[in-house]
């Protein structure tokens, strides 16, 4: 395997408040290869967005703090880099698309100004060059009549177009990594399909790696090369899209996939009740050293309440890439199989 | 006027909801947003009709019009034997106990200063249902029915999670024993794991209480799970209406097919994405909708004639209505201009 573009080691983020210290991220490890799409999935409050913000050191501080770990980008640790160096990285080498296209654009600047801003800052273009480049970017993301749209304000655009503008801003400097935090949650499915097509196409042309944060398993199946499932600030399963979606190992991942209503359900039989995951995500204040999912888990063992399970690699005859999970049950089964064989 | 049949609960005929905009100049005529433009549908008692469509297609306006929360421009709304469209004042207020609303956003639809018990009790007090003691009992029963604990009555909305808040919303909607419950995207603001819990709850309550749902959603998988009949809206009009199985087995209108193909699925993955029917652009503005078929400007199989005259909503198979001049029956088989191979 080539040298990873981004390597996150044991990333820890804590929030301090009067109630004490809460671990929002608890030892997150990520590797992103050039040109791949890595999806991060999980319910709200499990640390997906926090991970994205921590990579760019955008965690509001105080109350938040990155309390440990390393974020190696091309081998350089971004957590110890100067603020000036970070400004060179953000929006230039690593850029981000946020969930809400309505609120993440500045309403008092034209679209062209906002796309041109990163080009003037990072690529050193002058105003007219930046404008020409902005028009080219708008065209690339599929906005009709870019010469006219470049002088329009965000309120004159529809939600889908605004998200395209966000993508144009993010891709203006041809970043190595694009972090997309639920980029289509606020959009209609037909527009979502257009945005996904656009991201795939741009990725193919420019070789940008995409870190896609989502809670939509369908989107994962469509976009991901590899998937990471997060729960309560920890990664609990990771593997290729096929491994995680077709053979989910962690009970939480299994629950997430089973509780989805699937298209085509009316063709099979009587309306079946959807599988549920009982309960809800524990509050970050209630987390302890043990497995955070044990309260909702139907297979919980005694050991689950005592110690957090380590991340280990599952062995499966057809695996070419590692499929890893953090679950005592799976670990036990894997070791049993190992002894039997 | 009486209802078409005894078990039709809600019957809507030729509903129009138009919103005038401010005049742009002294001599210009005022522009009109045609949010809902000639809608007819009916719902059988104890069943669920799902309205689907993109944002701006008029789903929510329809829901608001049916519950008389927005002024009607024209049209008839019949709830059982009641001519709902004509009711005004106190009579309308009294009738409200028969139809209730579950809103999309569980965060903004509850008063932050009111305890959960009081939220659910309010409709009972307002409608003068039973004695005060009976109301207390009813609130307790409702909390149990939606899966909340009795002690939850004393908590404020911020102390609940999104899923629990939606349960409070459901309890409030059910307080006056309504016949019709309008659910406007009740699960789209919830996490996927919580979504299944709320959907199961809605299905269970319908079975136990014989509720009738008008269910609004843009999520086709959720709709397929919950509905008995589906109506697809585009730019203020219903372009296809069919029973659940007939629609999901064989959507006829090109827009319905494109909408279905846009839904990403876990099993379909990239193969499905590659076969997807791509729609270009955004829906046109409802201020000056294009003449003829409203979908013709984005339709991949449109012919010049499509943009000339609006096609009527025709019954192409039993109970399967479609508004497209290119869908036809030839030798007893339905011919569609567009289909999605792996559906």
Indicate which of B163, B166, B193 best probes the interface with A, i.e. most A CBs within 10 Å of its own CB.
Answer: B193
What pLDDT does residue B234 have? 92
Tokens of B158: 């911020």
**Which tokens belong to B97?**
């106990």
**Residue B275: both structure tokens together:** 């076969």
Please count the residue pairs, one from chain A and one from chain B, whose beta carbons lie less than 8 angstroms apart: 136
Q: Is the pLDDT of residue B342 over 60?
A: no
CATH 3.40.50.300 fits A6-231, yes or no: yes
Token representation of residue A136 = 């080219």
**What's the pLDDT band for B6 if we cut at 50, 70, 90?**
low
| B132-154 confidence digits (pLDDT tens) | 999 999 999 999 999 998 889 99
Q: Are A253 and A244 in contact (CB under 8 A)?
A: yes
Confidence of residue A158 (pLDDT cuts 50, 70, 90): confident
**Cα(B193)–Cα(A258) distance, integer angstroms:** 9
Distance from CA of A261 to the nearest CA of B (A): 5
Dist CA A48 CA A235 (whole Å) = 10
Compute the nearest-CA separation of A224 from chain B (Å).
9
Mean pLDDT along residues A1-18: 85
Share of chain B above pLDDT 70, in %: 97
Q: Give the model's pLDDT for residue A330.
A: 83
CB–CB of A193 and B200 under 8 A?
no
Angle between helix B116-126 and helix B162-174 axes, rounded to 10 deg? 20
At CA B198, angle to CA A250 and CA A263, rounded to 5? 70
Task: Look at A256-260, B96-100, B112-116 and tell me which has the smallest mean pLDDT.
Answer: A256-260
Taking CA atoms, B117 is separated from B104, B110, B281, in Å, by 20, 12, 47
Best residue of B264, B276, B283, B285 to probe chain A, by most A CBs closer than 10 Å: B264
Q: Is the model's pLDDT at B341 over the cut of 70? A: no
CA–CA dist B341, B323 (Å, integer): 22
Closest residue in B to A43 (Cα–Cα): B191
Interface test with B, best of A102, A143, A156, A189 (most B CBs within 10 A): A189
User: What are the helix (H) ranges across chain B?
Assistant: 59-66, 89-95, 116-126, 132-145, 162-174, 192-209, 220-226, 244-249, 254-262, 269-275
Contact assessment for residue A264 and residue A291, using Cβ atoms and an 8 Å cutoff: no
Q: What is the pLDDT of residues B15-61, one digit of tens each?
A: 999 998 877 777 777 788 889 999 999 999 999 999 998 888 889 99
End-to-end CA distance of chain A: 30
Residues of B whose CB is below 8 A from A216: 192, 264
For residue B266, the chain A residues in CB contact (below 8 A) are 217-218, 220-221, 245, 257, 260, 262
Q: Hey, are the CB atoms on A276 and B196 less than 8 Å from each other?
A: yes
pLDDT at A226 exceeding the cut of 90: yes
pLDDT of residue B274: 84
Q: What is the dihedral of CA A182, A188, A194, A196, to 10 degrees?
A: 20
| Per-residue DSSP letter, A284 | G
Spatial separation of the C-alpha atoms in residues B104 and B331, rounded to whole Å: 45
CA dihedral over B302, B308, B312, B317, signed as positive or negative: negative
Contacts of A187 (CB under 8 A, 6+ apart): A101, A159, A160, A163, A195
**How distant is the Cα of B76 from the closest Cα of chain A, in angstroms?**
30
pTM confidence score: 0.87
Which pLDDT belongs to residue A305? 85
Tokens of B153: 């009555």
Q: Is B28 helix (H, G, I), strand (E, B) or coil?
A: coil
Q: Tell me: the pLDDT tens digits for B295-322?
A: 988 888 888 888 888 888 999 988 999 9
CATH 3.40.50.300 in chain A, residue ranges = 6-231
**Residue A16 CB-half CA count within 13 A:** 6
Backbone angles phi, psi at B224, to 5 degrees: -60, -35
Interface residue B292 vs chain A (CB under 8 A): no
Element containing residue B99 per DSSP (H, E): strand B99-102
pLDDT, tens digit, 9 for 90 and up, residues B217-236:
988 889 999 999 999 999 99
Residue A331 and residue A293: Cα distance in Å, rounded? 16
**B163 has pLDDT over 60:** yes
The crossing angle, in degrees rounded to 10, of helices B192-209 and A251-258 is: 50
Sequence-distant (6+) residues with CB within 8 A of B213 are B47, B48, B49, B180, B181, B182, B183, B202, B206, B226
Percent of chain A with pLDDT over 90: 26
B55 at the A interface (CB within 8 A)?
yes
What span, in angstroms and rounded, lies between the C-alpha atoms of B157 and B175?
18
Q: Supply the angle between the helices A111-118 and A127-140 in degrees, to the nearest 10.
A: 110
Q: Where are the domains of chain B?
A: 8-20+31-227, 253-343
Q: Do the bridges between strand B48-52 and strand B212-216 make them parallel or antiparallel, or are there none, so unpaired?
A: parallel
> Nearest by CB to A188, which of B54, B221, B248?
B54
Set of chain B residues whose Cβ sits within 8 Å of the Cβ of A274: 196, 199-200, 225
User: What are the tens digits of pLDDT across the range B176-215?
Assistant: 999 999 999 898 888 888 889 999 999 999 999 999 999 9
Number of C-beta neighbours around residue B45 at 10 A:
17
Q: Is A133 on the interface with B (CB under 8 A)?
A: no
CATH number for the B8-20+31-227 domain, one of 3.20.20.70, 3.40.50.300, 3.30.1360.120, 3.40.30.10? 3.40.50.300
* Predicted confidence (pLDDT) at residue B92 exceeds the cutoff of 60: yes
Phi-psi region of A69 (alpha: psi -120 to 50; beta: other; left: phi over 0): left
Cα B167 from Cα B152, distance rounded (Å) = 11
Specify whether the CB–CB gap between B104 and B115 falls below 8 A. Answer: no
């Amino acid at each position: 395997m080539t040298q990873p573009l981004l390597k996150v080691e044991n990333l820890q983020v804590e929030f301090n408040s009067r109630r004490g210290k809460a671990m929002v991220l608890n030892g997150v490890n990520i590797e992103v290869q050039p040109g791949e799409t890595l999806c991060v999935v999980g319910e709200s409050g499990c640390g997906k967005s926090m991970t994205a913000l921590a990579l760019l050191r955008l965690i509001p501080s105080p109350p938040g703090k990155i309390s440990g770990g390393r974020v190696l980008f091309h081998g350089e640790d971004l957590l110890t880099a100067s603020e000036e160096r970070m400004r060179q990285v953000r929006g230039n080498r690593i850029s981000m698309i946020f969930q809400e296209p309505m609120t993440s654009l500045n309403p008092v600047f034209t679209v062209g100004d906002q796309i041109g801003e990163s080009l003037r800052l990072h690529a050193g273009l002058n105003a007219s060059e930046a404008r020409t480049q902005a028009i080219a970017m708008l065209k690339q993301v599929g906005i009709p009549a870019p010469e006219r749209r470049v002088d329009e304000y965000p309120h004159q655009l529809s939600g889908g177009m605004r998200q395209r503008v966000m993508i144009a801003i993010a891709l203006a400097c041809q970043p190595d990594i694009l972090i997309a935090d639920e980029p289509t949650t606020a959009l209609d499915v037909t527009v979502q399909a257009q945005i996904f097509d656009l991201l795939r196409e741009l990725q193919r042309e420019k070789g940008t790696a995409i870190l896609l944060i989502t809670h939509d398993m369908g989107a994962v199946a469509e976009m991901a090369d590899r998937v990471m499932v997060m729960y309560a600030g920890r990664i609990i399963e990771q593997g290729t899209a096929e491994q995680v979606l077709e053979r989910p190992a962690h009970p939480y991942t299994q629950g997430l996939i089973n509780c989805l209503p699937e298209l085509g359900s009316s063709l099979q039989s009587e309306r079946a009740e959807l599988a549920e995951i009982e309960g809800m995500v524990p509050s970050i204040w209630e987390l302890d050293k043990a497995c955070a999912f044990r309260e909702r888990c139907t297979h919980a063992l005694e050991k689950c309440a005592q110690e957090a399970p380590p991340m280990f690699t599952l062995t499966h005859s057809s695996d070419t890439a590692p499929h890893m999970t953090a679950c005592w049950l799976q670990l036990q089964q894997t070791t049993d199989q190992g002894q039997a064989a | 006027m009486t209802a078409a049949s005894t078990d039709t609960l809600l019957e809507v005929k030729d509903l129009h909801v138009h919103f005038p905009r401010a005049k742009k100049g002294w001599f210009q005529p005022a522009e009109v947003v045609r949010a809902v433009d000639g809608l007819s549908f009916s719902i059988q008692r104890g069943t669920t009709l799902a309205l689907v469509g993109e944002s701006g297609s008029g789903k929510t306006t329809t829901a608001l019009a049916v519950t008389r929360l927005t002024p009607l421009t024209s049209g008839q709304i019949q709830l059982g034997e009641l001519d709902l469209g004509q009711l005004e004042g106190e009579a309308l207020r009294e009738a409200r106990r028969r139809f209730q609303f579950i809103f999309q956003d569980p965060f903004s639809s509850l008063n932050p200063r009111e305890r959960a018990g009081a939220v659910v009790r309010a409709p009972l007090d307002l409608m003068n249902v039973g004695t005060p003691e009976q109301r207390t009992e009813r609130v307790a029963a409702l909390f149990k029915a939606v899966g909340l604990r009795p002690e939850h009555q004393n908590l404020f909305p911020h102390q609940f999670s999104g899923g629990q808040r939606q349960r409070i919303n459901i309890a409030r909607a059910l307080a006056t024993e309504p016949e019709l419950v309008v659910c406007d995207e009740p699960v789209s603001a919830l996490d996927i794991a919580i979504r299944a819990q709320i959907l199961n709850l809605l299905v269970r309550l319908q079975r136990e209480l014989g509720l009738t749902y008008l269910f609004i959603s843009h999520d086709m998988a959720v709709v397929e799970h919950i509905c008995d009949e589906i109506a697809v809206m585009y730019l203020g009009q219903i372009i296809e209406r069919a029973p659940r199985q007939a629609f999901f087995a064989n959507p006829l209108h090109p827009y319905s097919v494109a909408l279905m193909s846009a839904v990403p699925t876990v099993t379909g993955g990239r193969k499905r994405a590659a076969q997807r029917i791509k729609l270009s652009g955004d829906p046109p503005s409802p201020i000056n909708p294009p003449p003829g078929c409203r979908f013709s400007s984005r339709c991949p199989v449109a012919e010049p004639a499509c943009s000339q005259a609006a096609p009527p909503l025709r019954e192409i198979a039993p109970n399967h209505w479609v508004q497209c001049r290119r869908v036809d029956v030839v030798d007893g088989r339905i011919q569609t201009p567009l289909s999605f191979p792996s559906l």
